[in-house]
Amino acid sequence: MIKGECFDLRNFMNIFEEPVQGRGSVVPPHRFVAEEEPDLMRMVHLIYEMISKSRISPKRMWYRGHKNKDYVLLPTLIREHYRRYKENSSFSLAEYQRSLMESFVSRGATAIELIEPTVKINNSEIELLAQMQHYGVATNLLDWTEDLFTALYFACEDCFIGTDVPKQDATIYAFDPYLYNGIRAAIIKDRYKDLHFSSESEKRNVESTRPMGNIIPNFSLLHNTLDNRYQDFIRGEQYSSTNYSTPDNTRGKASIQSPTTYLPLAIQVSRTSQRIQRQAGSFVAFNLSDTPHPGEERYMGFQHAELEKIQEYYLYEFTGEVRIQNRQLKEKTPFLYRIDLRKESLGMFKELILAIGVRTYKLYPELENIGRDIMKMEQGIY
């Protein structure tokens, strides 16, 4: 599946596995380790202060919890596509997602989660994708929450669904989506100087698709679903009209790519189900027209699109200016932070979650989960 002769996004992003000179083995300022409850709250407060220094963001963070701290920030669609089709380069991410969506609509069209009056789903593609993501079907969406304790629940989920002691450290990511989208736009704008256009009209067309600053678009709105800048995140491939030519250093030929979609995008989707509402869900959308490229296997060919790798490039390689809403970011502020949670401490963090009233049925409000929660209380599990 991974082609050595295609346009190399790692060259585009200058992201390599070799250590960056001067970085050494020093733990970067955006990584923390929490062993006790007070550690977590102090670290979140410190992260908030660090994000506040940018003065160009509304300081509203998103969070994501993982049971395994070694998880890489790529969506399930990439993982499943790699597992099933890594030997078949002809079946794209967009085609795979469309086939999953067709099955989801065919089998789930009458499901109560999609037809209940409180949902009012428009059956738009992005809302269906949001539902698919929250009900276990692979999509190009990576889900986040606005609630820290929801993320903490997911980091400690093994403590709720099983009796075994967790076997690995967990982690919580804190993410500033506004700052990220602004930095993303600055990186893309900086790379436009390397583009080669065949005509002025082609140049004007491409420039019109540049991403807008630190806006977080709501993909449930019609004007965004029709916007050329966002087509690769919703449908991919043939729907994109943002192509350009750039030299391919390997053979001197021109490769066609879509520059505004090289980096994932923080988006909003209308919260049309109780599950998404309860989890305060938002998303980072990945490009459906993207293809895998050579790199470390754990990234499945998408190292160039993984959020921690993008931050690594931004902090240590990117030399361009970041201007958001006509204000310059004078110091490089990380947009992504992680707090690793020691496995020995996860039981204690579970008790914290229970003490503040977070329960499985509150995040998964379907009737079967309410029933399970009742029986857990009866059995004295919690």
Instruction: Tell me how far apart the alpha carbons of residues 203 and 207 are, in angstroms, rounded to a whole number.
Output: 6
Q: Residue 76 pLDDT more than 90?
A: yes
Work out the average pLDDT over 42-67: 83
Quote the pLDDT of residue 216.
87
Q: Which residue has the higher pLDDT, 164 or 190?
A: 190
pLDDT, averaged across the chain = 75
Work out the average pLDDT over 67-95: 86
Q: Residue 228 pLDDT more than 50?
A: yes
Using 50, 70 and 90 to split pLDDT, how confident is the model at 308? very high
Cα dihedral angle (109, 113, 119, 123), rounded to 10 degrees?
-30
Q: Residue 176 pLDDT more than 80?
A: yes
101-128 pLDDT, tens per residue?
888 888 876 666 666 554 444 557 888 8
Q: Residue 10 pLDDT more than 60?
A: no
Q: Residue 23 pLDDT more than 60?
A: no
pTM of the model: 0.81
Q: Residue 346 pLDDT more than 70?
A: yes
Quote the pLDDT of residue 247.
44
Q: Residue 357 pLDDT more than 80?
A: yes
Instruction: Tell me how far apart the alpha carbons of residues 168 and 346 are, in angstroms, rounded to a whole number.
Output: 10
Q: Which residue has the higher pLDDT, 375 or 95?
A: 95
> Which segment of 41-50, 172-181, 201-210, 289-298 scores lowest on mean pLDDT?
201-210
Which amino acid does the sequence have at 305?
A
Backbone φ and ψ of 380, nearest 5°? 75, 15
Using 50, 70 and 90 to split pLDDT, how confident is the model at 208? low
> Which segment of 20-24, 56-60, 372-376 scores lowest on mean pLDDT?
20-24
Q: Residue 72 pLDDT more than 80?
A: yes
Q: Which residue has the higher pLDDT, 15 or 353?
A: 353
Quote the pLDDT of residue 139.
93
Using 50, 70 and 90 to split pLDDT, how confident is the model at 201? low
